[in-house]
Structure 1
Amino acid sequence: MTVEAKYLSRDAFAERIAKVPAVILPLGATEQHGHHLPLGVDIILADALSKRIAEATGATVMPAMPFGYSWVWRDDPGSVSVESRTLEDVICQVAESLARHGVRHVFLVNGHEANGATMKYASRRLWDHADVKVWRLFYPDLAAVMAEHCESPTWQGIVHACEFETSLMLAVAPELVDMTKAVREYPERDRGYFQGGRPMGELSRSGVFGDATLATAEKGDAMLSIFVENMATAVREICAGG
């Protein structure tokens, strides 16, 4: 049986929630990822992770959220941004809606780093809710996993269209990756971005921050396995607590 709610009837959904009262809400973004990757990288990866976690835990996957706070790419074709508060409201309203149907835990599986603050505030808003809790999952132990499986350093600790994301995409959706257009670019550290309000899109010519040329599907598969195991363990432990 499918783990995705969008393919379930109302009866099939109710049966799954009666067994495991938890859903996974993939959070992504629609934004530029260089010339070698599609706009939907963050959606595709969050969705892929969510399905694997659901298969391992019995949780049910809700349709992915396709937009996030992507203001830093506002001038790049295809990039779409929504305010953080807007996304926060949507997350909370989704959780409150699902609580009416017996869902007790909503796990946010995030593929877009900038969604982090929004996830935190949404989980806090519902922490005292009597019936449902929101939990945050985002590439656990990322630095250690990358140190073991990636050859190139990050750009200032940020991952975007680099060896890491490109490797994950090669593992999940290789038909969407054009490695002939993959490049290596490490923009200079910019005070305007880190201490002011300059958009990240003004710093890179290619839209890549790191070395995408070193990406392989093998690296992506290895890292995905680690993330899925870690996240699935968290889901099982939280659900076991009631």
Structure 2
Amino acid sequence: MTVEARFLSRDAFAERIAKFPVAILPLGATEQHGHHLPLGTDTILAEHFAVRVAEATGATVLPAMPFGYSWVWRDDAGSVTLDQQVMEDVICNVAESMARHGVKHLIMINGHEANSATMKYATRRVWDNPDIKVWRLFYPNLSQELAAHCESPTWHGIVHACEFETSLMLAIAPETVEMDKAVAEYPDRDPAYFYGGRPMGELSKSGVFGDATKGTAEKGRAMIEVFTKHMISMVKDICA
């Protein structure tokens, strides 16, 4: 049986929740990822991990949120951004809806780094709700896995359209990746971005922050297995 709520009837959904009262909400984005990756990269990745985790634990996957906080790409074609407060409200509304149906834990699996702050605030808003808890997962031990599997350095710790994301996408959805358009770009460090409000879209010509040309499916598969294993373990611990 599918683990995705969008393919379940109301009865099938209720049956799954009665057995294991945990729902997973994939959080993604629709934003530029250079000229070689699709706009939906973060959503594709989040959904992949959500399904893998659900298959291993018995959780049920909700439809992914395809929009996130993408203000820094607001001027790049195809990019869509939500205000942080709007996104926070949506997460809380989803949690409140799930609580009415017996879900005890809502696990957010995030594929878009900039969603992290909003996720934190949403989990805090719901924390005092006695009927449901909200949890947030990104890539577990990311810095360690980057050091172990990637050849190129990140751009000041940020992963975007780089070797890391390109490798994951080559492993999960290779048909969406145009490697002949992959480039390496490390924009100059700009205080206006790190300490001010300048959008990242003004810093990079290609939209790549790092070296996308180093991406391979082999690296992606290795990291995916490690992340998936950690996420499964974390969900089991949370819901024990």
Q: TM-score, normalised by structure 1?
A: 0.99
Q: Name the aligned partner's letter for residue 67 of structure 2.
A: F
What is the CA–CA distance in structure 2 between the aligned matches of 1:64 and 1:135, rounded to whole Å? 16
Aligned twin of 1:23: 23
Aligned partners of 2:126 and 2:72: how far apart in 1? 28
Is the counterpart of residue 171 in structure 1 residue 171 in structure 2? yes
Unaligned runs of 5+ in 2: none
Name the structure 2 match of 1:11.
11
Q: Write out the 4+ residue segments of structure 1 that deviate beyond 4 Å after TM superposition.
A: none
Q: How many residues align?
A: 240
Q: Secondary structure at the match of 1:106?
A: strand
1:106-154: CA deviation from partner (whole Å, max 9, x where unpaired): 0000000000010000000111101000000000100000100000000
Equivalent runs, 1:134-149 vs 2, <5 Å: 134-149=134-149
Could you say which residue in structure 2 is the equivalent of 1:34? 34
Partner SS for 1:39: coil
- Per the TM alignment, residue 238 of structure 1 is displaced from its structure 2 partner at its CA by 1.1
> What is the percent sequence identity of the aligned residues?
73
- RMSD between superposed Cα atoms in Å: 0.5
> Secondary structure of the equivalent of 2:136?
strand
C-alpha separation between the residues in 1 aligned to 2:13 and 2:228? 23
Matches for 1:117-136 after TM superposition, within 5 Å: 117-136=117-136
Partner of 1:210: 210
Within-5 A mapping of 1:161-240: 161-240=161-240
1:58 maps to 58
Structure 1 stretches of 5 or more lacking a match? none
Q: 1:92 — aligned with what?
A: 92
Q: Describe the SS at the equivalent of 2:239.
A: helix
Give the counterpart letter for 2:136 in structure 1. Answer: R
TM-score normalised over the length of structure 2: 0.99
1:31 partner letter: E
How many Å separate the matches in 2 of 1:19 and 1:128? 24
